[in-house]
Amino acid sequence: MLVVHNISLPPGQFGGPEIEDFFCNRLDHSAHPYFQTIEGIQVSAHLLIRRDGVLVQFVSLLERAWHAGRSCFEGREECNDFSIGIELEGTDDIPYTPEQYFKLAEVADLIMAAWPEITVGRITGHCDIAPGRKSDPGPAFDWSYFRAALQAARGSGRNV
């Protein structure tokens, strides 16, 4: 399955190196008061899509990333064991950019081609596999817009 997340560091701020630093365990926790609240947390994601659509990879898609936490999908727990996690630079309540939707659609199309068991129905939000614990990608994520972008990307032959 493919899990869509969001992240911004500090919360609501975009464009800096903090997300990469966090995922690579090199975040300066003294640089912002919020960073002290996440000190010691070790997480990872396979991919990050920046606001401008730039794609950053942290973990091979063939390896396990620590993005889902305690989670369940279709009765199967521990989604990290069988999922690919994609972070969008964003928040639950700030609209995502067209560039992010298009890049997510392109990447999802490539992932679906490589792993046919990942279907449109197996693309979900973090909120759906960890309800009550997680809210991302949030109400600002337009699933209909994403699915239309995915449909346009399917078979288009575009490269990421």
Chain centre to alpha carbon of residue 148: 18
Percent of the chain exceeding pLDDT 90 equals 95
Q: Rounded to whole angstroms, how far apart are CA atoms 30 and 144?
A: 40
Under DSSP, the state recorded for 111 is: H
Rounded Cα distance, 28 and 26, in Å: 6
Tell me the per-residue pLDDT of 23-41, one tens digit each, with 9 for 90 and over: 999 999 999 999 999 999 9
What percent of the chain clears pLDDT 70, i.e. is strictly above it?
A: 96
**Total-model pTM:** 0.95
Instruction: Give the whole-angstrom CA distance, residue 14 versus residue 26.
Output: 18
β strands within 32-97, DSSP E = 47-49, 55-57, 72-73, 76-77, 84-89
Report pLDDT for 154. Answer: 87
User: Per the structure block, which two tokens stand in for 53?
Assistant: 């659509």
| Active-site residue identified among 39, 63, 74, 87 | 87
Instruction: Decide which of 3.40.50.1220, 3.40.80.10, 3.40.50.300, 3.40.50.1980 is the CATH code for 2-153.
Output: 3.40.80.10
Question: Does the active-site annotation cover 20?
Answer: no
Q: Average of pLDDT values for 137-157?
A: 92
Per-residue pLDDT at 116:
96
Q: What is the DSSP letter of 91?
A: B
Domain ranges of the chain: 2-153
Alpha-carbon distance of 55 to 7, in angstroms, equals: 14
Give the tens place of pLDDT for each residue, 42-98.
999 999 999 999 999 999 999 999 999 999 999 999 999 999 999 999 999 999 999
Residue type, 155: G
Q: According to the model, what pLDDT value does residue 131 have?
A: 96
